[in-house]
Structure 1
Amino acid sequence: MEPQTAKLIETIRDGVVGRDRALRGPYGLRRIVYADYTASGRSLDFIERFIAEEVLPLYANTHTESSSTGLQTTRFREDARAVIHEICGGGDRDVVIFCGSGATGAINKLVEILNLRIPADLDAAFGLSAHIPPEKRPVVFIGPYEHHSNELPWRESIADVVVIAEDANGQIDRGMLEDRLHRHAGRPLKIGSFSAASNVTGIVSDTWSISRLLHEHGALAFWDFAAAAPYMKIEMNAPAGRDPRASKDALFISPHKFIGGPQTPGVLVVKRRLLTNRVPTVPGGGTVSYVSAAKHTYLTDPAHREEGGTPAIIEAIRAGLVFHLKNAVGEDAIEKLENDFVRRAIAAWAQNPNIQILGNLDAQRLSIVSFVIRHRDLILHHNY
């Protein structure tokens, strides 16, 4: 590892807010060992200091561009958007949209953009979805290890949801996926929405081959990077030399899971051609180019049209900062370091017969480990 990278990593470790805090438990006062980065990262003092000293003193609403403070705040936020766009491998045909509440917000945003949801109470009252012929319904393929963010929004849509099982190696079963794609070949809209990595075992999906398979069968390739984004390279588009059909159509990201990421919005990276909805999902302030007493015209720029109302401005700027920090450390350095850590942990814990590590231990995985503890013939409760 380069000395400069090692120094930056040490700065990050020293900058974790609460790194020296202790809690009193059954064994007395103990320094906190935070082992829940899969759920959320922790704040960094130098990022919060930058926001307090450089961003907040110039803060203004991004809808106000007639003042110096409004212009500066807008530039901060658009710089954050550009940073995320670049680090995710976005191109001219890709759009970054800030979406409120993590990957859940990003997925729900896209469900609504695609007009795949009928309000449940209206549907119950008037039976609206019953008028959609079965053969005309969209179909969404999801994987064996989706978290609620990438399952419930599809269940509550007008689409049929098909679950693809895992194969013998703990990966998404490509054979089963291909079979189900053939079975649903006549559907007007086919979507594969899969996790780039399991947030239980950490096992990494082959996003390239699955995206290519989906596109070969006329399906869209959506990827939930909530668990994976802090630890691995995010590539929206296939690089030179790789089949362009392996590119992705949408990414769902939870920046709050990054180190430094608390108080950041969700991020949707999506192909511009999918943003054809006539009315924004949240019509209101910031979504229009013209309003009169009788009519109005919405913005043509989909990013701003889909960010109605005063946005989470500081939160979006913070998201850009944590993406920039990840890029400064370097994805290769992060992957190597995390792989070394997780392999050491697995090697040590595997020696204990009372610890059962879940998932294929030989598969490519993130530094996420789930395990259960045996006691005689029983498994201890997780809150024991």
Structure 2
Amino acid sequence: MDVNAIRQQFPILNQNVNGHPLVYLDSSATSQKPLSVISAMEDYYKFDNSNVHRGVHTLGNRATDKYEGAREKVRNFINAESASQVIFTRGTTTSINTVAYSYGRSNLTEGDEILITPMEHHSNIIPWQQTAKATGATLKYLPLQSDGTIDLVDVKEAITNKTKIVAIMHVSNVLGTINPIKQIAQIAHENGAVMLVDGAQGVPHLKVDVQDLDCDFYAFSGHKMCGPTGIGVLYGKRELLDNMEPVEFGGEMIDFVNLYDSTWKELPWKFEGGTPIIAGAIGLGAAIDFLNDIGLENIEEHESKLALYAMKQLRTIDGLTIYGPDDRAGLITFNLNDVHPHDTATVLDSEGIAVRAGHHCAQPLMKWLDVTATARASFYLYNTEEEIDRLVDGLNKTKEYFGDVF
């Protein structure tokens, strides 16, 4: 894997920020986009711009072919059985909300339980809070180990015949924890529950096979995997999706409309009301091509090496606390003594280094960690060990700047 050659495909990385070469360590928030993705979307608008499915003219047919071609690329990328199980949404948040509203509110009653974890992103907490309130179901939290991992013994104790939905993230956007999704799904199914996976941090970095995981739903976003913003995917098992009602109504998702009643199209289109996100889907398809050319196994290996190197280097800094397990995905969340993470990020930005600071849309996890916020450096296929060295230098400068707290 030639990282220098890969970097040439990302023009945004070739710039100075505040007088320094940019070091972009915020891919968990959103990844950068390669030229092939930008060009694919530009070409659609230049040469094929038309609505899909509805027309018979040449531009409409070309746009439809590209849009549905992108769906097939997603199907292959996650190894779904059928392209009809791939629903395009605005992102992970919309995908999870679709399941919570359409499946959750129709299948839960008082006394049922929804099981999630304290490490979840708000997008996988709030929809279930609202679903519990609407149905009378109970929202239940799986305990975490001291390093922020899940123990399968706890899973077996927490999932009972009352459990109807288990909703857990594949990879923590704060701790870097890679959760044992396949094993949790098996335990859920043994107890008659369905399993939803928040894959926002999983799909960009790991080879995901939804049939092997045997999850019932899997949600992810394009913008974290070199694709554009505003496009995401909901995968679901066909028997579940077939029995779910749409959550958006209007054009595109209908079969027949009468004055007082209507019928819906078959999967996946019954969940894609209105003009779809055509350019976004085409861009996502181009991102999948790009990632496939490099190889998810190569990306995972590269990020693992970066994480190990970063852990080793960051641990040389006195007063720096790292959160999460040693075995992790390619991100590190930390705090520097009593320096507020926003101040840490500001000093790093003055050195051209972009990291994320705040609660990372995971306030329950911040409370579990007993902090108000943290800083986070996240790595992707275009990052290097030299950039991690720059991060370490920047953190040492931060220590010098706030020397009175050390």
TM-score range with shorter-chain normalisation? Answer: 0.7 to 0.9
Show structure 1 runs of 5+ residues with no match. Answer: 119-131, 239-245
Is residue 113–residue 277 contact of structure 1 (8 Å, CA) maintained in 2?
no
Counterpart residue number, 1:281: 247
- Aligned mate of 2:138, from 146, 151, 160: 160
Structure 2 CA distance for aligned equivalents of residues 96 and 114 of structure 1: 16
**Runs of at least 4 residues of structure 1 off by over 6 A?**
none
Please tell me the residue identity of whatever aligns with 2:222. Answer: P
Counterpart residue number, 1:329: 294
Counterpart residue number, 1:114: 103
Is residue 36–residue 290 contact of structure 2 (8 Å, CA) maintained in 1?
no
SS in 1 for 2:182: helix
Post-superposition Cα deviations, 1:133-174, rounded to whole Å, max 9, x if no partner, equal 633xx4211123101111111101133211111124532232
Structure 2 residue 314 is matched with structure 1 residue 352: no
- Aligned mate of 1:368, from 331, 355, 358: 331
Structure 1 CA distance for aligned equivalents of residues 22 and 279 of structure 2: 28
- Aligned mate of 1:380, from 323, 330, 339: 339
How does the TM-score come out when normalised to structure 2?
Answer: 0.78
Structure 2 CA distance for aligned equivalents of residues 291 and 53 of structure 1: 35
Structure 1 CA distance for aligned equivalents of residues 82 and 280 of structure 2: 25
Structure 2 residue 188 is matched with structure 1 residue 214: yes
Structure 2 residue 11 is matched with structure 1 residue 17: yes
* Structure 1 position 31, deviation (Å): 2.5
Show structure 2 runs of 5+ residues with no match. Answer: 344-406
In structure 2, relative to structure 1, the CA distance for the partners of 1:231 and 1:156 (3 Å cut) is same
**Sequence identity, in percent?**
26
- What is the root-mean-square deviation of aligned Cα atoms in Å? 2.2
Is residue 150–residue 193 contact of structure 1 (8 Å, CA) maintained in 2?
yes
SS in 1 for 2:11: coil
> Any residues of structure 2 matched to 1:270-309 within 5 Å, and which?
270-277=236-243, 279-299=245-265, 301-309=266-274
SS in 1 for 2:85: strand
Structure 2 CA distance for aligned equivalents of residues 206 and 326 of structure 1: 24
- Aligned mate of 2:89, from 85, 94, 99: 99
Structure 1 CA distance for aligned equivalents of residues 110 and 218 of structure 2: 28
Post-superposition Cα deviations, 1:78-127, rounded to whole Å, max 9, x if no partner, equal 11111111110111496010111x21011011122215189xxxxxxxxx
Structure 1 CA distance for aligned equivalents of residues 296 and 280 of structure 2: 23
Post-superposition Cα deviations, 1:24-47, rounded to whole Å, max 9, x if no partner, equal 3xxxx2222211101101122332
Post-superposition Cα deviations, 1:269-311, rounded to whole Å, max 9, x if no partner, equal 1111112457421111011222344543221x12101100001
Structure 2 residue 293 is matched with structure 1 residue 315: no
Is residue 176–residue 330 contact of structure 2 (8 Å, CA) maintained in 1?
yes
- Aligned mate of 2:165, from 191, 195, 198: 191
Is residue 83–residue 320 contact of structure 1 (8 Å, CA) maintained in 2?
yes
Please tell me the residue identity of whatever aligns with 1:263. Answer: T
Structure 2 CA distance for aligned equivalents of residues 11 and 269 of structure 1: 33
Aligned residues: 339
User: Which structure shows the bigger proportion of residues in helix conformation?
Assistant: 2
Is residue 40–residue 283 contact of structure 2 (8 Å, CA) maintained in 1?
no
Counterpart residue number, 2:376: none
Is residue 70–residue 282 contact of structure 2 (8 Å, CA) maintained in 1?
yes
Structure 2 residue 64 is matched with structure 1 residue 74: yes
SS in 1 for 2:75: helix
SS in 1 for 2:280: helix
Structure 2 CA distance for aligned equivalents of residues 94 and 167 of structure 1: 38
Structure 2 CA distance for aligned equivalents of residues 207 and 94 of structure 1: 23
In structure 2, relative to structure 1, the CA distance for the partners of 1:93 and 1:80 (3 Å cut) is closer
In structure 2, relative to structure 1, the CA distance for the partners of 1:43 and 1:93 (3 Å cut) is closer
SS in 2 for 1:18: helix
Please tell me the residue identity of whatever aligns with 1:303. Answer: P
Relative contact order, higher structure (CA 8 A, sep 6+):
2
How does the TM-score come out when normalised to structure 1?
Answer: 0.83
Structure 2 residue 162 is matched with structure 1 residue 174: no
* Structure 1 position 264, deviation (Å): 4.1
